[in-house]
């Protein structure tokens, strides 16, 4: 027979009736991951909070993260809204992918505005969404811009702290906030665009009479998924809605996450001219005399890679990762975690913990130069792509985009701030939303670097 002591829940802050701890997290001046970081300093690395009707456990130390994502990986591998990753993984290994042309277009556009202040954030976001669109659809549809703007709005709406998420059984609230109506309206519009694009791709495929193997080599994600749908290589049947859901996953999980890394890297480098100079010197030395740059040329740039790692330590694009959920009752570190508890890993707190990192708040890419720590989710103090069986399947794709775009921006241009703004005053505020991007866009002045 189970003893009451076996059911001791993890410690946590004092709770108000009905709202639990929401007053400490939502609507306060700080963002949820900042507020949770502070609370966990008082209540420990495994902390229970009540988010409306939802009981959640917040994880803020490498040891507790290892317990959840390694020792008890299967028990916490549930994420009900997401499609089986095997479909995603099957698709993404097959995508023909080449960001080169898109990055070259961005560089050309920046050249045209040389000497003027440009909205760099917007350019980076356009670049990444174009690359993802090409990988998913093959080309840009007529509705590309509208589709991308719906995706952006949906990401901004869905930080998981909306009243409808927090009080799932209290339906009138969903109506009052209007969230469900807004999301539904966007869903209908996106669905229409997707129907149109999928139909066009199917028609193109019917007209295409190149060799079968050649066709497979150049497939985009939709073509891969449609092919898998019509074959019987998977033991589950894929429906058209599944195909659409995977497409949306790619846009929701693969666009803002990558573009904010490039934005934060440029922000940190502007505030740290020494690191900026070092990164540019490395690229300009490694690539000197090269007529065309290929994605593979990034492999010669260890300092650039360290800059990206350091950026993602301080600014993980998904600061609370994507929530997990306990599939069964579990005991972690002597505490009881009941089935269906939501588990959030505070990657933001892990990356800034002075117990794990020397001079934790400073931007020091050098710390990664001699450190073999990678993104593979084996060092639990550093897991910007997650870990275990629900780890990010887009790691290579996302990283390739980020590395190549950042390298080209640093190679081709020197960057200045608009008059009157000092590097140390550059604002570093984060926006609200599922992805921790910048609150205000970056406005910088590019000066072309003359390649010789
Ligand atoms: C710098 C870019 C990116 C970062 C930092 C990032 C980070 C993450 C993180 C932290 C998770 C949750 C992992 C976990 O629970 O252990 C995740 C999941 C996911 N990511 Fe990424 N991601 C990035 C780019 C991408 C790209 C480019 C794609 C696809 C095109 C993608 C697709 C996904 C999908 C589908 C999931 C859900 C996997 C599942 O539930 O099994 N991500 N990502």
Cβ count within 10 A of residue 86: 12
Element (H, E) at 445: strand 443-448
Q: Convert the pLDDT of each residue in 355-409 to its tens digit.
A: 999 999 999 999 999 888 999 999 999 999 999 988 998 898 899 899 999 999 9
Protein residue with least CA distance to atom 2, ligand 1 = 258
pLDDT higher at 69 or 4: 69
Q: How confident is the model at residue 90 (pLDDT cuts 50, 70, 90)?
A: very low
In the chain, what percentage of residues exceed pLDDT 90? 53
Q: Cα(277) to centroid of ligand 1, in Å? A: 31
Kindly give the residue spans of alpha helices, DSSP state H, lying in 256-336.
256-271, 273-286, 302-314
Protein residue with least CA distance to atom 35, ligand 1 = 249
Is pLDDT above 90 for 444?
yes
Q: How confident is the model at residue 136 (pLDDT cuts 50, 70, 90)?
A: confident
Q: Convert the pLDDT of each residue in 189-205 to its tens digit.
A: 888 999 999 999 888 87
What integer pLDDT is reported at residue 211 of this predicted model?
Answer: 67
Q: Give the mean model confidence (pLDDT) for residues 50-64.
A: 94
Q: Give the mean model confidence (pLDDT) for residues 346-354.
A: 96
Distance between CA atoms of residues 375 and 395, nearest Å: 8
pLDDT higher at 289 or 62: 62
**Secondary structure of residue 55 in the 3-state scheme:** strand
Q: Cα(252) to centroid of ligand 1, in Å? A: 9
Atom of ligand 1 nearest to the CA of 69: 16
Q: How confident is the model at residue 188 (pLDDT cuts 50, 70, 90)?
A: confident
Q: Cα(451) to centroid of ligand 1, in Å? A: 36
Which protein residues touch ligand 1 with a CB less than 6 Å away? 79, 82, 85, 88, 249-250, 253-254, 257-258, 261, 317-318, 321-322, 384-388, 390-394, 397-398, 402
Taken in order 355, 361, 364, 365, the sign of the CA dihedral is positive
Length in residues, the chain: 452
Residue 39 · residue 354 · CB < 8 Å: no
Extract the tokens encoding 95.
């995508």
Residue 315 · residue 269 · CB < 8 Å: no
What integer pLDDT is reported at residue 230 of this predicted model?
Answer: 80
Contacts for 389 with CB less than 8 Å, ≥ 6 apart: 73, 74, 77, 85
Strands 342-345 and 54-59: parallel
What integer pLDDT is reported at residue 182 of this predicted model?
Answer: 78
What integer pLDDT is reported at residue 378 of this predicted model?
Answer: 92
Protein residue with least CA distance to atom 18, ligand 1 = 392
DSSP bridge partners of 332: 335
Is pLDDT above 70 for 233?
no
What integer pLDDT is reported at residue 164 of this predicted model?
Answer: 66
Q: How confident is the model at residue 82 (pLDDT cuts 50, 70, 90)?
A: very low
What integer pLDDT is reported at residue 81 of this predicted model?
Answer: 40
E strand map for 269-412:
324-325, 330-332, 335-337, 342-345
Protein residue with least CA distance to atom 6, ligand 1 = 385
Rounded to the nearest integer, the mean pLDDT of the chain is 86
Distance between CA atoms of residues 228 and 245, nearest Å: 15
Element (H, E) at 57: strand 54-59
Q: Convert the pLDDT of each residue in 272-316 to its tens digit.
A: 999 999 999 999 999 998 878 887 889 899 999 999 999 999 999
Q: Give the mean model confidence (pLDDT) for residues 82-101.
A: 46
297, with CB counted inside 10 A (0-12, 13-18, 19+), is middle
Residue 265 · residue 441 · CB < 8 Å: no
Distance between CA atoms of residues 359 and 348, nearest Å: 15
Extract the tokens encoding 276.
């900026």
What integer pLDDT is reported at residue 451 of this predicted model?
Answer: 66
Cβ count within 10 A of residue 239: 10
Atom of ligand 1 nearest to the CA of 316: 5
């Amino acid at each position: 027979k189970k003893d009451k002591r076996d059911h001791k829940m993890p410690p946590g802050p004092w709770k108000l009736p009905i709202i639990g701890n929401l007053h400490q997290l939502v609507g306060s001046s700080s963002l949820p991951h900042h507020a949770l970081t502070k609370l966990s300093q008082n209540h420990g690395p495994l902390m229970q909070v009540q988010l409306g009707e939802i009981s959640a456990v917040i994880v803020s130390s490498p040891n507790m993260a290892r317990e959840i994502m390694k020792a008890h990986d299967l028990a916490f591998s549930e994420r009900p809204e997401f499609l089986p990753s095997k479909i995603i993984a099957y698709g993404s290994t097959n995508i023909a992918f080449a960001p080169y042309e898109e990055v070259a277009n961005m560089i050309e556009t920046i050249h045209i505005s040389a000497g003027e202040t440009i909205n760099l954030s917007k350019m980076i976001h356009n670049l990444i969404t174009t690359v993802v669109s090409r990988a998913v659809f093959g080309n840009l549809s007529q509705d590309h811009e509208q589709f991308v703007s719906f995706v952006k709005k949906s990401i901004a709406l869905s930080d998981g702290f909306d009243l409808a998420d927090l009080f799932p059984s209290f339906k009138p609230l969903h109506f009052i906030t209007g969230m469900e109506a807004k999301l539904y309206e966007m869903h209908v519009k996106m669905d229409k665009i997707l129907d149109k694009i999928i139909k066009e791709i199917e028609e193109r495929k019917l007209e295409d009479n190149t060799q079968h193997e050649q066709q497979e080599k150049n497939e985009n994600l939709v073509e891969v998924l449609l092919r898998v749908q019509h074959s019987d290589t998977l033991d589950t049947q894929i429906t058209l809605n599944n195909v659409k859901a995977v497409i949306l996953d790619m846009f929701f999980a693969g666009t803002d996450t990558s573009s904010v890394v490039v934005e934060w890297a440029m922000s940190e480098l502007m505030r740290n001219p020494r690191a900026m100079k070092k990164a540019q010197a490395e690229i300009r030395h490694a690539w000197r005399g090269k007529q065309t740059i290929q994605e593979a040329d990034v492999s010669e740039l260890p300092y650039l890679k360290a800059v990206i790692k350091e950026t993602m330590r301080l600014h993980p694009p998904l600061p609370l990762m994507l929530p997990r959920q306990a599939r069964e009752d579990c005991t972690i570190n002597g505490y009881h975690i009941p089935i269906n508890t939501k588990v959030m890993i505070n990657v933001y707190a892990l990356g800034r913990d002075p117990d794990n990192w020397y001079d934790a708040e400073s931007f020091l890419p050098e710390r990664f130069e001699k450190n073999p720590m990678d993104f593979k989710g084996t060092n639990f103090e550093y897991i910007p792509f997650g870990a275990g069986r629900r780890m990010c399947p887009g790691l290579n794709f996302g990283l390739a985009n980020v590395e190549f775009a950042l390298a080209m921006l640093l190679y081709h241009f020197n960057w200045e701030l608009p008059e009157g703004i000092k590097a140390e005053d550059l604002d570093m505020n984060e926006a609200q939303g599922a992805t921790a991007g910048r609150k205000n866009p970056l406005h910088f002045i590019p000066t072309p670097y003359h390649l010789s």
